[in-house]
Amino acid sequence: MKLFIKYMISNRCKLAVKEELTKLGLHFVVADLGEVEIMEEITTEQLRLLQLGLNSSGLELMDDKKAILIEKIKNVITEMIHHTDELPKVNFSDYISEKLDYDYTYLSNLFTEVKGINIRQFIIVHKIERVKELLFYEELNLTEISFKMHYSSVAHLSNQFKKVTGLTPSAYKKLKDKSRNTIEEIGK
């Protein structure tokens, strides 16, 4: 049986889910961010207890098909931008479509309808948060960050950064309090 879990987008979240499932004596495989495969039938009481345990960690079970697909889109984007060293060489639309085995136009329309923001804008916001993280740790210069994040130029990155944050990357680096959003907060 597959369970879909909202906000399960980090290793910390995976650990919380594993802990709750173990408490209930369930055998499972964490298939992907946001998905868990349970090896046996889960009782109504186990499901209720799991929901309570997940809620205490800021997670929740999902059963609405549209909500599950939206969460899968968000998880693919999060994984692609925040949890891999190298962004895919193909268009993001092709990558997402291939990963989820759905037509991109359908995914895009559904995402925009439900989230009020299109997938492209959601990706940009995530990329800028990743750029903020890379600037914060000061391991790469702006040219290297631009290349790593697949921007066509430093100018393109800088323009997009300013549109989203209101600051240039240089001005952001000079801030004493470099505010960043958690992955869970981006694009809510």
pLDDT tens digits along 118-176: 999 999 999 999 999 999 888 899 999 999 999 999 999 999 999 999 999 999 988 86
pLDDT of 184 = 60
Domains of the chain: 2-63 (3.30.70.100), 66-188 (1.10.10.60)
- H/E segment holding residue 74: helix 65-82
| Residues facing residue 36 across a β-bridge | 3, 30
pTM: 0.75
The beta strands (E) that lie in 57-123 are given as 60-62
How distant, in Å, are the alpha carbons of 39, 73, 142, 157, 173 from that of 127?
36, 15, 14, 10, 16
11 vs 79: CA distance, rounded Å = 11
